[in-house]
A and B are shown apart, each in its own frame.
Chain A
Amino acid sequence: MNKIKCECGHVNPEGTVLCEACGKPVEKNQHIDGNEKNKLLNMRYDGSARRSQTYNKTIVDKTWNFFSSVKVGVWLIVLALVASAIGTIFPQEMYIPRSVDPSQYYRDEYGIFGQLYYELGFHNLYGSWWYILLIALIGVSLVICSIDRVVPLHRALKNQRPKRHEVFIQRQRLFGKTEKVSKDDIKTFIEQLRKKNYKISEDQGHVLAEKNRFSRWGPYVNHIGLIIILIGAILRFFPFMYVDEFVFVREGETKVIPGTNQQYYIENKDFILELYDPEEEEKFAEAIVQEGGMVPKNFQTNAVIYQVKGEVVPGAEPELEKMKEGEIRVNEPLKFNGYALYQSQYQLNEFKSMSFKLHPADNPDDAIGTFTFDMTDPKKEYDLGNGYRVVVDQYFPELKLENGVPSSESNYPRNPAFIFFVYGPDIEERETSFLAIGANIDPGEDNRYKLSLDGVEMRDVTGLAVQKDRTLPIFAAGAIIFMIGVVQGMYWQHRRIWIHPKEQGVWIAAHTNKNWHGLKRDIKSALDQTSINPPEDQQELS
């Protein structure tokens, strides 16, 4: 290490541009901050020795230097910006219907551009290796940029002395000379600055007035916050950090909550859908009519949470203990032991059971027998007594007719239909009945008996998302630290004013990391009662 000893006696590390103590330019290093061409000194990091500007030999040096460049950082941000925007041109894969093949969907919906979008992998852009790599590179850049600057800057600000070298004073952006000045004027000036919350330090008549140094650390604090957020994002790649499940529960049903190791059960006591009533809410009447009269007001599940008593034994019927009862609404999840249940989907009026009666085809009032088909517990055969029985030949939970051929759309009893065989003492072989909602078609015209719908029981289904997320506190901490850092750096400015006595007169120089206007105002009003000339701005834009 080639330490640099300044004429003021301070020993600076290699690569220093301005002496940490007195600010005298180190001649051989002026090219680093471009000072040799300019009238003013580059004060960005107080001329401290940054690793990236000092060493450039090994691969480590070169990598470090690459990532410590703000130019590279900004390019990475711009690339991430453009990539993110591209991902919104067409919907991402997670937002297209699940039942379709993505490769076809993009071509069919969006033509040649859609196909290209899919081929390039943009349909899953935010999960692609290159997008993640881009964000990771931004993370690396954040870390290296910060370390490269914060360490030397901290050193420089710690070692600064009130007494500065003349060259340093003269080459500040705000600089002014006053040839003749009384001691009282300087005193007044210092007093006024003190009133404005400047910290005053003095050394042989040389004065440094400094304010809000902490704001210099703002950028580094907010970068730490961002790094914590990125760490949170990395942890999300590990499944044990979070639970993200989904469960449909029918009214009256008790079901195990997925993702809880069979520990918890949920009972759906009632699902409620409320709509706005234009007559009750007169002020909204016009808007409700415009929306076609169907504006939902509330989606709610009244739920009971049970905990399994004792150990969970696979296969055995668990003993449940009621733990919590509550209402789940959109925006009001139900929380228990770190898990949260969110109101997410619903299905109204699913069939729970249907009752039928058997009667002679010409006399509907003369019932021979009745039976109830329970959707949750379907039987193959129902005995009606007196030798009559009904066999379920086929059951279609959600009927779909294609060219007159029945099949089922899904396993959910949303539109059930049946083919029944009826047997009886006075029936020769059997009679076939086809039953669907709103239709009772007899396949054979000559049936003696007929099955009619006697009653139905319906219920609603609620769809709940189950969540437990251990990464949330990490994201929250990162966000809070980021906000503190960004406010600290943006809403305060580090201002320094140097008072440099000169024979009969005084030199005044000042520097701030931003908001020069505010610094000028501070100085101007502090000098109001004195004959000292306010320093002039040596660099105006126009």
Chain B
Amino acid sequence: MDFYSISSNLLYTAFVIYFIATIFFGATIRSKEESGKSSRAAAVGITLTIIGFIAQLGYFIFRWIAAGHAPVSNLFEFTTFFGMMLVFAFIIIYFLYKLNILGLFALPVAMIIIGYASMFPQELSPLIPALKTHWLYIHVTTAGLGEAILAVSFAAGLIYLIKKVDQSKLNLKTFSLEFVLYMIFATLGFILVTLTFNAMDYEVAFEYRENGEETTTEYHLPAIVAPYDSTMITEDRFGPLFETPAWMEGKEAGRKLNTFIWSLLGGLVLHAFTMLLLRKRVAKALQPLLNKVNLDIVDEIMYRSVAIGFPVFTLGALIFAAIWAQVAWNRFWGWDPKEVWALVTWFFYAAFLHLRLSRGWHGEKSAWLAVIGFAIIMFNLIAVNLVLFGLHSYA
């Protein structure tokens, strides 16, 4: 077996182990002991998590050997790495606070991220000249780690909100919380829809102009939306219903928008189906499971992960990024959308910290901010490449 296949198998193994670990963390809900103290199920859960993490580390190392460069150079590799760092951050926070319920939220988020990553092309890709530098590893790994630690605050914030928000009536709060959960369903929807149509080998091609050059693109999902000003060149296929607006500038914006719409629709179906099964909003159904959770500790974790993650993020996503930009493009700051959104993220968490430390925004307010912060990070990870133009097009 070559290094590449070993690496892929290890990633698969890690995914399965995370799944089993999540089940054990789920079992801690029913245990009689107070949450915060360790139970046997929790011990198994965290042990499995560590084994899974080691397996994923193995994926990372073997892929590095196979490619000859650190596997953080495209969307698949970076997103997988982000998921791995999320597990790493969870392990550290777990040993600081021993909060079992966090595993039930952080691990699924990590799994969804890894699942999302694996929908992108996975073959080894060569490094273009701009990426050939040690700053690739230094910048990307630090930025990824920082974002992952910040993501733990999202998991904690979600736990906080599900327990705290009064679910007796439908209002803006309960709706917003449900919307956050819907976004998770939409990511699942993306994975399921992609897997389904890939298994069917579905294909439809379009011809259009990109940057003044005649291009063709192949969709692997039925076309709801076609590229801007394009013609369909595969016959007997569904759609398209409409065209991508012209201002979507990203590379292959049409195909990506089509996938995005499919994800939203898939998420809608999954979410509606789950609600029908539960006969109530998902957050409302989850609320009783969190009865024993000590909100003080959850709040503390939410804050600590921002306190630890913010400096790491600043170092990786702004300072190291600026140094690399200086070396590669002879300007350390160029108002490229990816850069600007890193700055927006930084501004946001700076505001988060000031509000918390100086204006006493603890608890629920903090939790909402943690959720919004994660949304900004995900926007920078996904949407900036989809919607906006820019230099940072590889990932």
- Complex Cα spacing A114 to B249, Å: 13
Known contacts A110-B246, A330-B328, A514-B357; A288/B344 CB under 8 A:
no
Residues of A within 8 A of B246 (CB): 109-111
Residues of B with C-beta under 8 A to A81: 344, 347-348, 351
* Interface hits, A83-101 → B, CB 8 Å: 84-85, 87-92, 94-95
Contact A487 B311 (CB under 8 A): yes
| B-contacting residues, A248-305, CB 8 Å | 276, 281, 283-284, 286-288, 290, 295-299
CA distance A94 to B249 in the complex (A): 16
Given contacts A465-B330, A475-B332, contact A287 B295 (CB under 8 A): no
A344-B354 in contact (CB<8A): no
Q: Does B375 contact A (CB under 8 A)?
A: no
In the complex, the answer to whether B328 meets A295 with C-beta atoms within 8 Å is no
* Interface membership of A403, Cβ < 8 A: no
Using an 8 Å CB-CB cutoff, how does the interface string of A14-31 with B read, 1 for contact, 0 for none?
A: 000000000000000000
Q: Is the CB of B125 within 8 A of A84?
A: no
- Per-residue CB proximity of B185-215 to A under 8 Å, as 1/0? 0000000000000000000000000000000
Q: Which residues of chain B have C-beta atoms less than 8 A from A276's C-beta?
A: 126
| B247: interface (CB < 8 Å) | yes
How long is the Cα–Cα vector from A228 to B344 in the complex, in angstroms? 20
Say whether B126 contacts A490, CB under 8 Å: no
Task: Please pick, from B300, B330, B358, B362, the residue contacting A342 in the complex, using a CB distance under 8 A.
Answer: B330
Q: Is the CB of A296 within 8 A of B128?
A: yes
Task: Let me know if B61 is at the binding interface, CB within 8 A.
Answer: no
A113 to B66, CA, bound (A): 48
State whether the Cβ of B130 lies closer than 8 Å to any Cβ in chain A.
yes
Task: Show the binding face of B for A, using Cβ within 8 Å.
Answer: 4, 66-67, 97, 121, 123-126, 128-130, 132-133, 135, 164, 246-247, 249, 294-297, 299-300, 303-304, 307-308, 310-311, 314-315, 319, 322, 326-330, 332, 335, 337, 340-341, 343-344, 347-348, 350-351, 354-355, 357-359, 362-363, 384, 388-389
Closest to A517 in B: B300
How long is the Cα–Cα vector from A479 to B332 in the complex, in angstroms?
Answer: 12
**What are 29 A-B interface contacts by the 8 Å CB criterion?**
A71-B359, A77-B350, A77-B351, A78-B351, A87-B335, A88-B384, A88-B388, A90-B247, A95-B389, A110-B246, A114-B247, A281-B126, A283-B4, A283-B66, A287-B124, A290-B121, A295-B125, A329-B129, A330-B129, A330-B328, A331-B135, A331-B327, A333-B327, A342-B330, A472-B332, A475-B322, A486-B311, A491-B307, A542-B294
Contact, CB under 8 Å: B340 / A542: no
A87 touches B340 (CB 8 A): yes
> 3 closest Cβ contacts across the A-B interface?
A287-B125, A330-B129, A81-B347
Q: How far is the CA of A541 from the CA of B329 in the complex (A)?
A: 50
Verify if A73 is at the interface (C-beta below 8 Å from B).
yes
Q: Chain A interface (Cβ within 8 Å of chain B)?
A: 44, 70-71, 73-74, 77-78, 80-81, 84-85, 87-92, 94-95, 109-111, 113-114, 126, 244, 276, 281, 283-284, 286-288, 290, 295-299, 329-333, 340, 342-344, 465, 467, 472, 475, 479, 482-483, 486-487, 490-491, 513-517, 537, 540-542
Q: Which residue on chain B has the smallest CB distance to residue A77?
A: B351
- Contact partner of A284 (CB less than 8 A), chosen from B124, B344, B388, B389, is B124
Known: A80-B347, A114-B247. A74 touches B355 (CB 8 A): yes
Q: Does A540 lie within 8 Å of B296, measured CB to CB?
A: yes
Q: B310 contacts which chain A residues (CB < 8 A)?
A: 486, 490
Q: For the complex, what is the distance from the CA of A299 to the CA of B319, rounded to whole Å?
A: 26
> Is B389 touching A91 in the complex (CB atoms < 8 A)?
yes
Which residues of A lie under 8 Å from residue B322 when comparing CB positions?
A: 475, 479
Whether A85 and B130, one on each chain, are in contact in the complex, defined by CB atoms closer than 8 angstroms, is no
Cα-based distance from A110 to B315 in the complex (angstroms):
36
Most buried by B among A77, A78, A244, A290: A77
Report A-chain residues with C-beta under 8 Å of the C-beta of B303. Answer: 514
**Residues of B with C-beta under 8 A to A109:** 246-247
- Chain A residues lying within 8 Å of B295, measured Cβ to Cβ, are 541-542
Partner of B296, one of A84, A94, A542: A542
| Chain A residue with the shortest CB-CB distance to B124 | A283
List chain B residues, Cβ under 8 A from A513: 357
A84 to B363, CA, bound (A): 28
Q: Is the CB of A84 within 8 A of B344?
A: yes
- Measured CB to CB, the closest approach of chain A to B288, in angstroms, equals 16
Query: In whole angstroms, what is the CA distance A109 to B212 when docked?
Result: 13
- A94 neighbours in B (Cβ, 8 Å): 335
User: Nearest-CB distance from B103 to chain A (Å)?
Assistant: 18
Kindly state the separation between the CA atoms of A287 and B4 in the bound complex, as whole angstroms: 14
Whether A483 and B307, one on each chain, are in contact in the complex, defined by CB atoms closer than 8 angstroms, is: no
Query: Smallest CB–CB gap between B6 and chain A, Å?
Result: 14
Q: Known contacts A87-B335, A540-B296, A541-B362: does B129 contact A110 (CB below 8 Å)? A: no
Q: Which chain A positions have C-beta within 8 A of B350?
A: 77
Query: How far apart are the CA atoms of A78 and B341 in the complex, in Å?
Result: 13
Does B307 contact A331, Cβ atoms closer than 8 Å?
no
